[in-house]
Structure 1
Amino acid sequence: MRQDVHFVTLSTPDLDAARRFYVNGLEWHPLLDVPGEILFFQIAPGLVLGLFDAKSFSQDVRGAGPVAATGVTLAHNVDSPEAVVDLVDRFTGAGGNVVVPPEPGAFGGVFHAIVRDPNGVLWEIAHNPGWLVADDGTVSFS
């Protein structure tokens, strides 16, 4: 099997709140938007984030849910500590809530913050001088 993930789908209790946050607030462009059902965003080459209405999600997994993912963050890496602060401001302006304010992290020289979207998804906004994300999306460590 190839080492690939093409879709990350999150059960979303309030799809309209997710739309307001990601589309209106962060100005993301949906790859596909099916009102009342699902929002898809192209988030990297070959990778799509799906925000699936919780009732539809439960139906799709035939009642195996709600699926509780614990210890999960979506992470966005930026070029500087100042960019962390700027992006956290953008997230909060879009309706997110700061869980951990921008600060030096405990591991690897990272400067980061944790923000919760309106449906409880945790985002880590980070500057890590030991990580390089190339234009094609590949990650390398220095």
Structure 2
Amino acid sequence: MKPRVSLVTLGVGDLARARRFYETGLGWKVSGASNEHVVFIQLGGGVALGLFGRSALAEDAHLADAGTGFSGITLAQNLESKEAVDRAMDLAVAAGATVLKKPQDVFWGGYSGYFADPEGHVWELAWNPFFPLSDDGGITLS
């Protein structure tokens, strides 16, 4: 199995609200492959984001829906500067996100903060001086 992620699917309780947050609030482009049951958004590096009904996603994976709370997973977007992190956080909050940790200098030498989208999915926004970004925003680890 190759070490890659092609699609990250977020289970959501309100698909229309989730779509508005990412499409209208953050300005991310929704793919024409979307329909009334699932929303797809092309991310950088050949990865896509899916938004799908939470209970339907749990059922598809043969899992019980444990409800809300910390799932043990965070999503991250690395940015080119501390200022870009601050701007992205401001945009997310204006779109309806909740700040979990204001952007700040962190112990590992970078700058980061966390927000939760309206469905409670946790995103980190970070500037990491040790991870130069490619043109599409991807990182390459040495």
TM-score range, shorter chain: 0.7 to 0.9
> Residue deviations 1:7-43, cap 9 Å, x none?
11121111111111101101111123212x1111111
Q: What TM-score, normalized to structure 1?
A: 0.87
Give ranges in structure 2 of 5+ residues lacking alignment.
none
**What is residue 77 of structure 2 aligned with on the other side?**
76
> How much does 1:137 deviate?
5.2
| 1:4 alignment partner AA | R
| 2:64 alignment partner AA | G
More strand as a share of residues: 1
Does the C-alpha gap of structure 1 residues 138 and 123 become closer, same or farther in structure 2, counting only changes over 3 Å? closer
> Residue deviations 1:42-99, cap 9 Å, x none?
112331111111232233224x132677321111111111111111000000000100
- Work out the CA distance in 1 between the residues paired with 2:39 and 2:126: 25
Does the C-alpha gap of structure 1 residues 122 and 59 become closer, same or farther in structure 2, counting only changes over 3 Å? same
> How much does 1:138 deviate?
4.6
- Work out the CA distance in 1 between the residues paired with 2:90 and 2:52: 26
- Work out the CA distance in 2 between the residues paired with 1:81 and 1:73: 20
> Which segments of structure 1 move beyond 6 Å, counting only runs of 4 or more?
none
Cα-Cα RMSD: 2.0
Give ranges in structure 1 of 5+ residues lacking alignment.
none
**What is residue 57 of structure 1 aligned with on the other side?**
57
> How much does 1:4 deviate?
2.1
| 2:74 alignment partner AA | T
**What is residue 103 of structure 2 aligned with on the other side?**
102
- Work out the CA distance in 2 between the residues paired with 1:109 and 1:39: 36
- Contact conserved, 2:10 with 2:52, CA < 8 A, in 1? yes
| 1:5 alignment partner AA | V
- Work out the CA distance in 2 between the residues paired with 1:123 and 1:43: 14
Q: What TM-score, normalized to structure 2?
A: 0.87
Q: Percent identity?
A: 36
SS at match of 1:52: strand
- Contact conserved, 2:80 with 2:133, CA < 8 A, in 1? no
**What is residue 132 of structure 1 aligned with on the other side?**
132
SS at match of 2:85: helix
